[in-house]
Structure formats: structure tokens, C-alpha cells
Chains A and B, each alone.
Chain A
């Protein structure tokens, strides 16, 4: 799984593509933990090229959000329709600010 992180002035953008499932969610989790352990609590997860996310991936995001708050926040951008629907279905949609595009997400900080 290729995960790219880009440092901005007020936040860090994390981007990956394709599927996030039980086979690779730990890699995303490790990247996010690496950021929060260095005190980066303002994080944008750019999901514009993620087309599938199983619950293993959601836990990586929820764990990160628990760590980021209240000092900062993990926000999501470019979330696929199917992923958004399933997140909302289990009430997890309310845990994240979701932006249509990356520019809006970065500007949030």
C-alpha cells in the first residue's frame, strides 16, 4: 500500500489509493500513529482515490480521531459515495468533518 504524506503549514495531508481492508489497514494505522506521536494532530485524509473501505480502515481513522481531539482533528476529503453511505449507516459519519475536495479540507485548519 502506497501512502503519501505532505506537510502543509497548518496540517498534514495523508493520501492513499485503492482499497483499505483487513489486509492493509494496519499500514494506514501505522502512518497515522507516526504522525500523532510526533504531535501532528491536524490531519487531512485525502480519500479521493480510495474506492473501498472496510471496517478495519474505519477503526484506523477512529483511533486517530480519538488521539487528535481535542488538540486537533482528523478530517476527510473526497469520500466516495458508497463509503460515505456505509459510514453514515453505522453512525460514524458524525465523527468526521467531510470535505468535497482537498482545498476545502486544508483551508479548514
Chain B
């Protein structure tokens, strides 16, 4: 299990992706599974920076990777304002181009890309987003 700390900046997305790619490869995920984890972690980190902290700041985003028997477990911790996933509107999928609106897509993608997604917020631990990607073999 490894944990890496990043500051809250969109400039860190590439470094976050490099770290998560390394973890996913180490866990033996396939190429398309690695891409799914990259996208889910990128969308989650972007949401924390843009909607959680709401700005670039020195606050932490801690990312823990843990290879598990069925694949890879990724946990993201932050101290931003707690958020209610149920308050995020479901994006309109399979609508005409004119009716496509940029809302709720990041969270939707996270759920689509990963096999398990859990969110928890506690006063002493902050926000915890736990995601599992299982390998298909």
C-alpha cells in the first residue's frame, strides 16, 4: 500500500495520473482498466479542486493505492467541504447534442469506470472516497 500527498492544484493532475498509472500497472490491470482508473481518479481529483476546495490552495489531496486480490483499491482523502453525492444531478445521457448539458458527468463517469465507489465524510478524517477496480480475468 502506498500513499502520496498532492496539493490542491489542477497542475498536479498529470502527476496524480502518473502515480495512479504506476499503481494500476503494478496491480496487474489491463490497458483499458488502467485507463478507467486514470479517468475516475482524474475526475474525482478535479471535482475536489474545483468544487470541494473551490480554488487552487495548499490543502491536501492524499491518494492511497492498495493492490487487492481482485484488482486495485484507491482511496482519496481531502479536507474540503463535505459534499452530498445524492445532491449531484444525474447527467442526461443519450440526449441530442443540443440538450447535452455539462453537469454531473464527472461523478457519473467515476461510477461507470469503477466497480465500487463509496463516499464518506467524518469530522476527524475529512472526506474519503474509496474506489475499487476489479480485473476482468
Interface residues of A (CB under 8 A from B): 19, 21-23, 52, 54-56, 58-59, 62, 65-66, 69, 81-83, 85-86, 89-92, 94-95
Contacts and interface: CB of A to CB of B under 8 A. Distances in A.
B97 A23 contact: no
B108 A52 contact: no
Interface size class of B (residues with CB under 8 A): 20 to 34
Interface of B: 10-11, 13-14, 17, 31-32, 35-36, 38-39, 42-43, 46, 49-50, 91, 93-95, 97-98, 100, 102, 105-106, 108-109, 112-113
A85 B31 CA distance: 12
29 contacts: A19-B13, A21-B10, A21-B46, A22-B49, A52-B38, A52-B42, A54-B39, A54-B43, A55-B102, A55-B109, A56-B46, A59-B102, A62-B100, A65-B97, A66-B98, A69-B97, A81-B32, A82-B32, A82-B39, A85-B32, A86-B39, A89-B112, A90-B105, A90-B108, A90-B109, A90-B112, A91-B93, A92-B100, A94-B94
A21 B36 CA distance: 15
